[in-house]
Amino acid sequence: MSYPALRWLRARSSNEAMPTDKRVNKLKSVAEARQAGFTVVIEDVFDPHNLGAISRSCDAFGIQQINVIFETHPEFDPKEVGKNSSTATNKWLDYRIHHGAEEALRALKREGWQLVAAVLDPAAESIFEADLCAPRLALLFGNEKTGLSSTALKLADRKVMIPMRGIAQSMNVSVSAAICIYEVTRQRMARCPQLLSMAPEQVAQTLDYFLDMHEHLGRRNKKRRKERAKERLEQSGNEEG
């Protein structure tokens, strides 16, 4: 039995918020379906709703960790801001926050990630023709106005672009991210399926994270319900007075 399962059994004998068997099985199946060796890096996206939409695509295609760089734009909490566009999937994802592009990307390179920049450059590889079966692949996306910084482009190992046939030669960053994430996932499933599955210990860590989030959200929602009930009582008392 895995560590998270043991942890869940301990929760059953305590006063902690306890997920149902159905909920645990759902979280377990999601943890097992997360991809190994695939992440995205979002550099200075200033609209939280775009990050929320990217988060939704990451969850849908099994990316657990998102790297977010805040360097030239104000920082915000990805778990709290933009949750409408993410349909609340952001609460189950792991956000690794960085405060400088160079430091963040050099750290990822030291960890063995191949950095693939999504760019608007006809000289870049078509994402549909590029071989995207690296064991550890990080897709880089820039902000809505200027794209990736010169630092990110310099440190990228490769550059890819989405061929387009319309009048407009650019798309919203969240749409571009969804297309690129899908294409990497499609290639991995077709060409290198051995890279998809996480090791058992990674699955266990992810499930443990999900169970932590379940407990945290349960406590938070319970607190909010109490606060709303108190407000209703106070409002009712004021109206009677």
Buried b (16+ CB within 10 A) or exposed e, 35-73: bbbbbbbbbbbebbebbbbbbbbbbebbbbebbbbbbee
What count of other Cβ atoms lies within 10 Å of the Cβ of residue 21?
Answer: 9
Same domain, 139 and 238: no
DSSP E strands: which ranges in 28-75? 38-43, 65-69
Total domains in the chain come to 2
Same domain, 71 and 106: yes
Same domain, 60 and 125: yes
pLDDT per residue of the chain (241 residues) written in tens, 0 to 9: 233 444 544 454 455 556 788 888 898 989 999 999 999 999 998 888 999 999 999 999 999 999 999 998 888 888 887 655 555 788 899 999 999 999 999 999 999 999 999 999 888 999 999 999 999 999 999 998 889 999 999 999 999 999 988 888 788 999 999 999 999 999 999 999 999 999 999 999 999 988 888 777 666 656 666 666 666 666 666 666 5
Same domain, 95 and 29: no
